[in-house]
């Protein structure tokens, strides 16, 4: 069932890249009973892990998450009306033009229950899992404004109550939020504070009778800020820590009805124009003490958890959007004729379609793998994986949307077609829910921290010049050079990957092996000061994202081919193409990470930036200038 003949020590070296493999189920099971226990527990949960009975030996144990048949039916029943609603009732161009979602559209969404997708049924929500949420997000994303409005409401706005609120708070607020009678917002960002919690200025002061907190301050860029009735607000409170007074962040549930809440003029945005974004100010808003989410002073963790859990759905959203764009543009490419040939016959146009298909496939695979992992019992922490999904899909989405527009050329640039709206809407993806830059830092540093814990002792030995360690290192390196390829046991007789994907799996194994070595050398060279080496961390993050994407597509395609899904050969094709591509990219990135690599021109990049920033302008003389 699981490969048992491999040494997995290397993987521990390979940063936390190992963990998602393990979570994806590709782990050597040291003790089979444990695996069985895990399997039973998984079967108890909605997801079935492990072998599908009767699907053959090869790849039978593929761990790509699955949902039960009843659930498939349930989701299909749910998806159909939503899809119909979005196709027939939603006028996206009007929403974009008028910068407002009409009330009847909002009512339609409420009737469909889309305001409480993940709220448990006992509070009046649909009670769907992360996987099902991701499925619905595919359709909701067809209109960016609605998607953002709904996400601000339930992915972050009411998430605090859902994951950290107590029973009374849930009873009080969730039913009305689930029905859409109340709309939620998440208020964290301030003029002087993005991801820097230390610069939050909004303050909550306990009133004299000790029953209320008085909140004062202002928050900016609050989605749904104008129409939200319930807000999750983060404010600074004074807390006694070990007898010393300290300022700590606390999360509050603030109702607009408490009074003192004012919202500013809606921002005029590039995209997602129908969603409402504005500044919200609080002037001594009295909030009862029982409205504190979690503990007083525990708001930082709450904020982090909310943000971490909200990101995974962007993968399926982007995939849904790209799938729709493929359908629309291929129609055009097939009918438009130039030089007596249809556009679809031109190689450069074909390339764009292949790109879109691969991207959609990878995003989908990553999103549902992550969602499946999140649905496992015990609330596993998948924030790293979710961040990787977010970074990959927001950037891939941007490229695909722009290529789709390119296929139509000038037509795509006009407002007669929806492409320019997609391009504008899509631009927000790399920015919100944590910019991609800061998420890359998170991805890379989480990996480094994990690898560092394991490797510190070894690196220290090496630095001491311990002959034994050095010799064993040299020996290992020599052995590696003689061995033709790295074998981590993904393929072969006991492998978990289908033979038609064996090549790609080998490539991934090589990547992971090299990543292990690279991370080790980075730790050797930089130690804890790696935090300041953002250019290196960016590459580490990119490699990790690619490896995770490879994991997802291999796992998904193996499953598809093993259980004989329709068009599984196409999936294999996509998976192999993506893996080849990612393999080269990874190799290039990791070559850059080597010391004195000619490809690495970080020093130059930094110097250029420094000179430009010193002048705060473009430095070069104009080419038409002369000195004599």
Partner 1 sequence: MKCARCLLQLQRLRPAGQSARSAAQYGALPQSPYASHMLHNTQLQVLRRFHGSPARVKNRPVPAEFINEDDKKRDKSLVAHDDLFERVDKESRTKATFNKVVDVFIKADVRRRGHVEFIYAALKKMPEFGVEKDLVVYNKLLDVFPKEVFVPRNFIQRMFNHYPRQQECGVQLLEQMETYGILPNVETKVLLVQIFGEKSHPMRKYQRLMYWFPRFKHTNPFPIPQQLPEDPVDLARFSLTRIANDLDAAVTVYQLPCTDITESGELLTLPHIVGIQGPSQMELLAKHNPSRPVFVEGPFPLWLRKTCVHYYVLRADPLPPEEKVEEPYDPERCLVYPLQLDLDLDRDFGDEESFDVEDLDEGPVFAMCMTSQGDQATLNQWISGLQQNNPILGQVPTLFRLNAGPKELQGVGDTESEHHRKPEQETQREERQPEEEPEVLEEERPRRSHGMKQ
Residues of this chain that interact with partner 1 (CB under 8 A) are 188, 195-198, 248-249, 300, 303-304, 307, 434, 438-439, 441-442, 445-446, 448-449, 452-453, 456, 459-460, 463, 523-531, 595, 616, 627-628
Q: Angle of helix 568-593 relative to helix 347-374, nearest 10 degrees?
A: 90
CB crowding 379-409: b at 16 or more within 10 Å, else e: eeebbbbbbbbbbbbbbbbbebbbbbbebbe
Q: Are 353 and 404 in contact (CB under 8 A)?
A: no
Give the shortest CB-315-to-partner 1 separation in angstroms.
18
**Cβ atoms within 10 Å of 205's Cβ, excluding its own:** 15
Which is nearer to partner 1, 117 or 441 (by Cβ)? 441
> Shortest approach of partner 1 to residue 395 CB, angstroms?
17
Closest by CA position to 221, among listed 433, 389, 442: 433
Nearer to partner 1, 208 or 532 (CB): 532
Q: Within its chain, how far is the Cα of 587 from the centroid?
A: 23
Compute CA distances 113 → 91, 135, 242, whole Å: 19, 15, 47
Identify which of 304, 421, 320, 439 has the alpha carbon closest to the alpha carbon of residue 385. Answer: 439
Q: Which of 317, 322, 277, 272 is nearest to 145 (CA)?
A: 272
Q: Residue 179 or residue 591: which is nearer to partner 1 going by CB?
A: 591
CB of 460 to partner 1, least distance (A): 7
Measured from the CB of residue 592, what is the shortest distance to partner 1 in angstroms? 15
279, exposed or middle or buried, with CB in 10 Å at 0-12, 13-18, 19+?
A: buried
Shortest distance, CB of residue 556 to partner 1, whole angstroms?
28
Task: Provide, rounded to whole angstroms, the least separation between the CB of residue 369 and partner 1.
Answer: 22
- Give Cα separations from 599 to 259, 538, 587, 592 (angstroms): 59, 15, 11, 5
Residue 95 · residue 143 · CB < 8 Å? yes
Pick between residue 84 and residue 463 the one whose CB is nearest to partner 1.
463
Closest CB to partner 1 among residues 404, 443: 443
Q: What is the DSSP letter of 157?
A: I
Active-site residue set: 433
> Is residue 337 helix, strand or coil?
strand
Closest separation in Å from C-beta 454 to partner 1: 11
Query: Do 572 and 561 form a contact (C-beta atoms < 8 A)?
Result: yes
DSSP secondary structure, 234-255, as one string: EEEEEEEETTEEEEEEEEEEEE
**DSSP character string of 74-97:** HHHHHHHHHHHHHHHT--HHHHHH
Nearest approach, Cβ of residue 227 and partner 1 (Å): 25
Q: In terms of CB distance, is 219 or 559 closer to partner 1?
A: 219
Dist. CA 456–CA 447, nearest whole Å: 14
Choice between 348 and 603, CB closer to partner 1: 603
Q: Which is nearer to partner 1, 490 or 519 (CB)?
A: 519
């Amino acid at each position: 069932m699981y490969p048992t003949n491999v040494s997995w020590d290397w993987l521990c070296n390979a940063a936390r890249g190992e963990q998602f493999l393990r979570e994806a189920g590709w782990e050597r099971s040291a003790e089979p009973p444990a695996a069985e226990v895990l399997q039973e527990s998984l079967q108890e949960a909605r997801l079935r892990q492990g072998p599908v009975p009767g699907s053959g030996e090869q790849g039978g144990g593929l761990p790509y998450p699955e949902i039960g048949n009843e659930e498939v039916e349930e989701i299909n029943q749910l998806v159909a009306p939503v899809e119909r609603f979005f196709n027939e009732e939603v006028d996206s161009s009007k929403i974009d033009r008028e910068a407002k979602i009409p009330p009847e559209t909002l009512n339609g969404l409420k009737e469909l229950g889309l305001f409480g997708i993940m709220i448990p049924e006992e509070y009046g929500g649909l009670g769907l899992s992360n996987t099902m949420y991701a499925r619905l997000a595919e359709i909701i994303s067809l209109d960016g404004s609605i998607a953002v409005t709904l996400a601000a409401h339930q992915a972050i706005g009411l998430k605090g109550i859902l994951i950290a609120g107590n029973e009374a708070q849930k009873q009080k607020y969730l039913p009305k939020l689930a029905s859409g009678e109340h709309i939620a917002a998440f208020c964290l960002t301030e003029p002087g504070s993005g991801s820097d919690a230390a610069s939050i200025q909004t303050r909550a002061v306990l009133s004299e009778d000790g029953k209320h907190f008085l909140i004062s301050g202002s928050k900016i860029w609050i989605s749904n800020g104008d129409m939200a009735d319930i807000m999750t607000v983060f404010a600074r409170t004074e807390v006694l820590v070990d007898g010393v007074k300290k300022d700590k962040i606390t999360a509050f549930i603030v109702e607009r009805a408490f009074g003192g809440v004012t919202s500013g003029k809606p921002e005029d945005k590039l995209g997602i124009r129908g969603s409402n974004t504005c500044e919200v100010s609080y002037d001594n808003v009295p909030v009862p003490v029982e409205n504190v989410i979690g503990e007083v002073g525990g708001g930082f963790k709450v904020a982090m958890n909310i943000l971490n859990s909200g990101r995974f759905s962007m993968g399926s959203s982007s995939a849904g959007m790209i799938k729709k764009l493929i359908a629309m543009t291929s129609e055009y490419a097939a009918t438009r004729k130039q030089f007596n040939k249809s556009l679809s016959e031109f190689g450069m146009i074909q390339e764009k379609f292949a790109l879109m298909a691969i991207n959609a496939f990878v995003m989908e695979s990553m999103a549902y793998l992550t969602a499946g992992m999140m649905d496992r019992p015990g609330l596993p922490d998948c924030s790293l994986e979710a961040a990787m999904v977010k970074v990959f899909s927001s950037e891939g989405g941007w490229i695909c949307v722009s290529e789709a527009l390119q296929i139509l050329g000038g037509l795509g640039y006009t407002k007669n077609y929806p492409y320019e709206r997609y391009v504008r809407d899509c631009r927000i993806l790399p920015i919100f829910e944590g910019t991609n830059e800061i998420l890359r830092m998170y991805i890379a540093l989480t990996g480094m921290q994990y690898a560092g814990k394991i490797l510190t002792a070894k690196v220290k030995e090496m630095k001491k010049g311990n002959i034994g360690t050095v010799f064993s290192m040299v020996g290992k390196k020599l052995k590696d050079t003689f061995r033709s390829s790295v074998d981590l046991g993904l393929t072969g007789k006991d492998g978990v990957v289908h033979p038609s994907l064996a090549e790609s799996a080998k490539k991934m194994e090589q990547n992971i092996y090299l990543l292990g070595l690279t991370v080790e050398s980075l730790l050797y060279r930089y130690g804890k000061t790696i935090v300041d080496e953002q250019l290196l961390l960016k590459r580490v993050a990119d490699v990790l994202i690619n490896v995770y994407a490879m994991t997802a597509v291999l796992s998904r395609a193996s499953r598809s081919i093993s259980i004989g899904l329709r068009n599984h050969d196409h999936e294999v094709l996509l998976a192999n193409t993506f893996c080849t591509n990612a393999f080269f990219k990874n190799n290039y990135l990791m070559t850059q990470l080597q010391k004195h690599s000619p490809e690495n021109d970080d020093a130059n990049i930094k110097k250029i930036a420094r000179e430009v920033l010193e002048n705060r302008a473009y430095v070069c003389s104009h080419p038409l200038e002369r000195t004599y």
